Structure 1
Amino acid sequence: MSRARLTELRGPGVRPRSLDARALAALAANPGCRRRALLDGAGIDKGALAQALGSPASYGQSQFALIRGNAFEARVKADGGTELLRLLHERLAPGTPPPGPEEIAAPDLSAAGPEGRAARTALALREATAAGGWALLDHPMLVLDVAGSPAYVEPDAVVVHPDGGWTVVEIKSFPMIDGSADAAKVGAAARQAAVYVLALEQVAEHAAAHTGRAVRVRDRALLVCPKDFSNLPAAAAVDVRKQLATTRRQLARLTRVEEIAAALPEGTTFDLRLTDDGRTPTRPPEELAEAVEAVGAAYAPECLAACELAFHCRKRSRQEGAVEALGRGVRGELGGLGTVEEVLAAAASTDADQVDDPAVLALRRAAALRAQALAAAASRAPEPVCR
């Protein structure tokens, strides 16, 4: 898609919002949502858009959690990454001595803009691999093609091994108690790590060609968390092969951004028309809602934990009586029945033409069982006592 069209969608003078690995993982988990694919691909701030629509998102990290997480990450990476490399050896290479601070290279990754930082990261990875030693890349910038648009992602760290292996490091602030952490949070971290591994694989192909060495992006990421209720770091190796395969498949299914934009009505834009101070939108919510509704969505209750527009989409889904609001599992079971009204009508109907539809047969059976249960309950109800 041309930069001019992206600028038109965002609005003149609006800087594009970067797409991080968490958003990419959520996008890959719902590849059928054209709305999110377009908004994320165009770099539109979905949080500000939801606020202007009157359905603000209510999730995200608190300021305290961000400060605590940054302080913990700084502690893990202190002294040139000595503690981080010790944890990596402990979990991924037990029995071998970790390198000393003087053996760990820390290349400078500073450059202008995300494109410059991504190019500098690729160069640093090639140089570190060719050198055949240990290297710790702090917050490298990687690029990944998503629906025809580049997405820049930034892992907490990437470690280059002397044998040419690359390991993704994820540093989180949730605790690891007695050697294990919350399964849902670990799963989310694994999905993020899979995005980084996928982006690194593209760099690894070029690095192998330039260095003449075998380069392997390891499919086990290192997850570092606070130990128990302290600020001491603990680590675990997380196998991301399943998440990697899922993410690769789902991203490949995404419709390209230019195809979605081409189907929009002429002049469609998501510009909020902010005041001079950049804080207050002046565009009527009705116009914004019309622009948003011009792009198809694939709402599911899981979106509430992953998308800023989820509350707006849920409200629309409920207004339309869409069965998607009940969950993907329910939607899959109902086959061609798309609304709650259709489901209730099918459950109450006696149309002989629908007897071959397993969803309709199941609904009729459920309705009959419910009627029997209500009749049985009514027959056992005690007679009212007159006083």
Structure 2
Amino acid sequence: MSGDAANGQAVLDLSHLRGGEAPRNHDARTIAALTANPGCARRGVMDAAGVDKDAVARRLGFAAPFGQSQFAITRGNAFEAQVKADGCAELLALLRDRLGLEIPEVSYDDLESVGTESREVRHARTRHLMARALETGEGTLFDHPLLRLDIAGQRAYLEPDVIAFQLGGRFHVVEVKSFAVVDGQAEPEQVAAAARQSAVYVLALRELVADLGHDPERVSHEVFLVCPENFSNRPTATPLDVRPQLATVRRQLDRLTRADDIARQLPEGCTFALDENLPEAVRAVEARYAPECMASCEMALFCRDEARACGATGTLGRNVRDELGGVDSLVTALELARGVREPSEDMAETAEQLRLAARLRREALAAAPTPPAPARPAAAPLVGGQARSADVLERTA
């Protein structure tokens, strides 16, 4: 056991599940993706244990189909460094001039260079600076603070790009992204992803502020998104209200099954070590696959193959699976629709709806006019070997 969870229960140490492999820490992207599918026990326990899902998927022969290119990563790092150069001079100019914010005095604290070998040291330093800022109003910009968030009973460390303080006595998260804003518009999917990740940071910062004995609302729901403008490297800043995403993240995190409860049900000695026992270990934890997983989870290809093999309703989409209630198998759904399977009490309502849908489909197909047969194109003259093949087919028909 190690530490205490937010609900006061002892937290199970899940490090043994990695089988000696190095831990993979949560970030805002993985938490946002995790909350999008909170019912997936497989992802929950692997993320809580710090398992490198990308390495697991590659070992299983189902490498993840997504991820940033090295070029995109390098470009993003260069843009962030530009925005933060000289104590975030360019960022401050944006906040003052573009958004009209009054920031009369500036102090800058870089936490990335503090305690590089220990996340606890960096987190303690973050708490100290935040406590001082909350009490005295001192401090304007905090670069790479280290926050903590409880994920299914396990602590995750998060590192926002920047937190800005001294804006009406409230903290604001500043998120630096390398996707472009062209003529005032950015790709909606990229903005939505940035909003979800920022909401995770806001929630973690609010928990820190509350833990320090202050009103969590001192962390604003309005974040500042900084991106390149048009096709240049010139940054632009846009306020972003993340209240909808914040409510979703908070609700989904509350619904997550405790990862240590799942781990206790695994076979003794089960680990996700990259060896010959890996497929059996992965299948020992139930997954909840949906097509949306393809955009956010490294295990998606493996889970899709597994779901297709067993005919899981989740392969048709989360909405279909939810509409079918407790019917997890496509075979079961078809048998209920055709009336060849007697439904259990908890499936009775779903079975009735399936039979009704099947009857309406039959009636619609019966009433539909028969489409005319497509005209056959004129046959091209056969020459050489084609003529001989056609002659053989005709004689053997």
TM-score category, normalised to shorter length: 0.7 to 0.9
Q: Distance in 1 between matches of 2:40 and 2:131?
A: 37
Please tell me the residue identity of whatever aligns with 1:67: T
How many angstroms does 1:128 deviate by?
2.8
Q: Distance in 2 between matches of 1:117 and 1:352?
A: 60
Q: Kindly indicate whether residue 328 of structure 2 is the aligned counterpart of residue 338 of structure 1.
A: yes
How many angstroms does 1:133 deviate by?
4.2
Q: Kindly indicate whether residue 182 of structure 2 is the aligned counterpart of residue 192 of structure 1.
A: no
What 5-or-longer segments of structure 2 have no aligned partner?
3-10, 380-397
How many angstroms does 1:208 deviate by?
4.6
Matches within 5 A, 1:9-20: 9-12=17-20, 14-20=21-27
Q: Kindly indicate whether residue 373 of structure 2 is the aligned counterpart of residue 381 of structure 1.
A: yes
Which residue of the partner structure matches residue 363 of structure 1?
358
How many angstroms does 1:6 deviate by?
2.1
Please tell me the residue identity of whatever aligns with 2:240: V
| Matched-pair contact (CA < 8 Å) for 2:12–2:260 | no
Secondary structure of 2:297's aligned partner: coil
What 5-or-longer segments of structure 1 have no aligned partner?
273-282
Taking structure 1 as reference, are residues 97 and 246 closer, same or farther at Cα in structure 2, changes over 3 Å only? closer
1:6 corresponds to which of 5, 8, 14: 14
Taking structure 1 as reference, are residues 161 and 372 closer, same or farther at Cα in structure 2, changes over 3 Å only? same
Please tell me the residue identity of whatever aligns with 2:241: D
Which residue of the partner structure matches residue 43 of structure 1?
50
Q: Distance in 2 between matches of 1:383 and 1:268?
A: 62
Taking structure 1 as reference, are residues 330 and 215 closer, same or farther at Cα in structure 2, changes over 3 Å only? closer
1:313-370 C-alpha deviation (Å, 9 max, x unpaired): 0000000111101111122233343222233334444889879722331233124424
Taking structure 1 as reference, are residues 215 and 135 closer, same or farther at Cα in structure 2, changes over 3 Å only? farther
Which residue of the partner structure matches residue 275 of structure 1?
none
TM-score, normalized by length of structure 1? 0.86
Taking structure 1 as reference, are residues 97 and 48 closer, same or farther at Cα in structure 2, changes over 3 Å only? same
Q: Kindly indicate whether residue 326 of structure 2 is the aligned counterpart of residue 324 of structure 1.
A: no
| Matched-pair contact (CA < 8 Å) for 1:227–1:233 | yes
Q: Distance in 2 between matches of 1:222 and 1:39?
A: 32
1:137-193 C-alpha deviation (Å, 9 max, x unpaired): 111110001111100011110011164310001111110011121111111101100
Secondary structure of 1:49's aligned partner: helix
| Matched-pair contact (CA < 8 Å) for 2:14–2:260 | no
Q: Distance in 1 between matches of 2:211 and 2:287?
A: 37
Matches within 5 A, 1:57-136: 57-89=64-96, 94=100, 96-99=101-104, 103-109=105-111, 110-111=114-115, 112-136=117-141
Matches within 5 A, 1:236-315: 236-272=238-274, 283-284=275-276, 287-315=277-305
Secondary structure of 1:161's aligned partner: strand
Please tell me the residue identity of whatever aligns with 2:42: R
Q: Distance in 1 between matches of 2:376 and 2:164?
A: 76
Task: Give the number of the structure whose alpha-carbon radius of gyration is greater.
Answer: 2
Q: Distance in 1 between matches of 2:174 and 2:374?
A: 66
How many angstroms does 1:90 deviate by?
5.1
Matches within 5 A, 1:196-215: 196-208=201-213
Taking structure 1 as reference, are residues 332 and 368 closer, same or farther at Cα in structure 2, changes over 3 Å only? farther
How many angstroms does 1:298 deviate by?
0.8
Matches within 5 A, 1:224-243: 224-243=226-245
Q: Distance in 2 between matches of 1:385 and 1:264?
A: 62
Secondary structure of 1:107's aligned partner: strand
Taking structure 1 as reference, are residues 383 and 186 closer, same or farther at Cα in structure 2, changes over 3 Å only? closer
- Report how many residues are paired: 363
1:219 corresponds to which of 208, 221, 233: 221
Please tell me the residue identity of whatever aligns with 1:107: D
Taking structure 1 as reference, are residues 352 and 384 closer, same or farther at Cα in structure 2, changes over 3 Å only? farther
| Matched-pair contact (CA < 8 Å) for 2:206–2:217 | no
1:214-252 C-alpha deviation (Å, 9 max, x unpaired): 970000110011001110001111111111111111111
Alignment RMSD (CA, Å): 2.6
Matches within 5 A, 1:154-173: 154-161=159-166, 163-173=168-178
Taking structure 1 as reference, are residues 214 and 34 closer, same or farther at Cα in structure 2, changes over 3 Å only? closer
How many angstroms does 1:76 deviate by?
1.0
Which residue of the partner structure matches residue 139 of structure 1?
144
Secondary structure of 2:370's aligned partner: helix
How many angstroms does 1:261 deviate by?
0.6
Taking structure 1 as reference, are residues 340 and 230 closer, same or farther at Cα in structure 2, changes over 3 Å only? same
Q: Distance in 2 between matches of 1:214 and 1:345?
A: 52
How many angstroms does 1:124 deviate by?
1.2
Taking structure 1 as reference, are residues 79 and 382 closer, same or farther at Cα in structure 2, changes over 3 Å only? closer
How many angstroms does 1:135 deviate by?
1.4
Q: Is the deviation greater in 172-181 or in 352-361?
A: 352-361
Identity rate, percent: 49
Q: Distance in 2 between matches of 1:152 and 1:181?
A: 29
